[in-house]
Amino acid sequence: SQQGEEDPQALSIQEGENATMNCSYKTSINNLQWYRQNSGRGLVHLILIRSNEREKHSGRLRVTLDTSKKSSSLLITASRAADTASYFCATDHTGGFKTIFGAGTRLFVKA
Amino acid sequence: GAGVSQSPSNKVTEKGKDVELRCDPISGHTALYWYRQSLGQGLEFLIYFQGNSAPDKSGLPSDRFSAERTGGSVSTLTIQRTQQEDSAVYLCASSLSSVQETQYFGPGTRLLVL
């Protein structure tokens, strides 16, 4: 099964609202990354948080990591219609050789 | 500089035919990954190349799937005797050195097996 699992599976909000997506994983990790995908094509890297970090910011994005709960959250503040996309978390686990992606959260921001 | 490129963008084939998908990673990136994504689903890891090390093939779904990376650069994913369930978007990514680095994705190849 997938190492990373996002919830909710889908999220619909109004422009200007904040969007929060969560990711849970199963084994110890080196880092956790969030990616965005538009229209089922290539993914774009958003942010990487290392296992010894608890919070990271990038523009309107805020990512938290709780290694004790094996979970992470992605917060998008003041959402825009252009934020409509699928968001994936990806983890590479300690001793592993590959990155595992969750099934993603589909975010729809209504203008 | 140029990003990861993949070809073809779209491929329609008949069941039973072989297909080859190509990935050109970012120059200087030693790690290369192949993923498969079915409609509305997450990414399924297929194979990982790192430098001259033996590739991690643990994600290949069957022996009909194979991949090679020549000269540490371009990679080809081959699917033999395609089946309808092989229909998906095949995504390639590269990173500077290892899985702990940011992966840069290509636009993908959309494969449809009729």
> Which residues in chain A have Cβ-Cβ distances shorter than 8 Å to B43?
43, 88, 101
* Helix/strand/coil (H/E/C) assignment for every residue in B60-96: CCCCCEEEEEHHHCCEEEEECCCCHHHCEEEEEEEEC
Give the pLDDT confidence score for residue A1 in this predicted structure: 41
Q: How confident is the model at residue A4 (pLDDT cuts 50, 70, 90)?
A: low
**What's the whole-number average pLDDT of chain B?**
91
Q: What does the pLDDT average to over A21-48? A: 88
* Contacting A residues, span 47-86, partner chain B, CB-CB under 8 Å: 48
Give the pLDDT confidence score for residue A12 in this predicted structure: 95
Give all strands of the β-sheet with A61-66 in edge-to-edge order: A5-7, A19-24, A71-76, A61-66, A55-58
Which one is predicted more confidently, A48 or A7? A48
Give the pLDDT confidence score for residue B62 in this predicted structure: 93
Contact A99 B58 (CB under 8 A): no
Residue B99 has pLDDT above 70, yes or no: no
User: A103: nearest CA in chain B?
Assistant: B42
> Which residues in chain A have Cβ-Cβ distances shorter than 8 Å to B58?
98
**What's the whole-number average pLDDT of chain A?**
89
Which one is predicted more confidently, A95 or B114? B114
Give the pLDDT confidence score for residue A94 in this predicted structure: 62
Give the pLDDT confidence score for residue B108 in this predicted structure: 95
Residue A78 has pLDDT above 60, yes or no: yes
Q: How confident is the model at residue B42 (pLDDT cuts 50, 70, 90)?
A: confident
Give the pLDDT confidence score for residue B101 in this predicted structure: 79
Which tokens hold the place of A73? 């959250």
**In A22-101, which residue ranges form alpha helices assigned H by DSSP?**
none
Contact B41 A97 (CB under 8 A): no
> Which residues in chain A have Cβ-Cβ distances shorter than 8 Å to B4?
42
Give the pLDDT confidence score for residue A97 in this predicted structure: 58
CB of B54 within 8 A of CB of B37?
A: no
Contact A42 B4 (CB under 8 A): yes
* Helices first, then strands: H and E counts in chain A: 0, 11
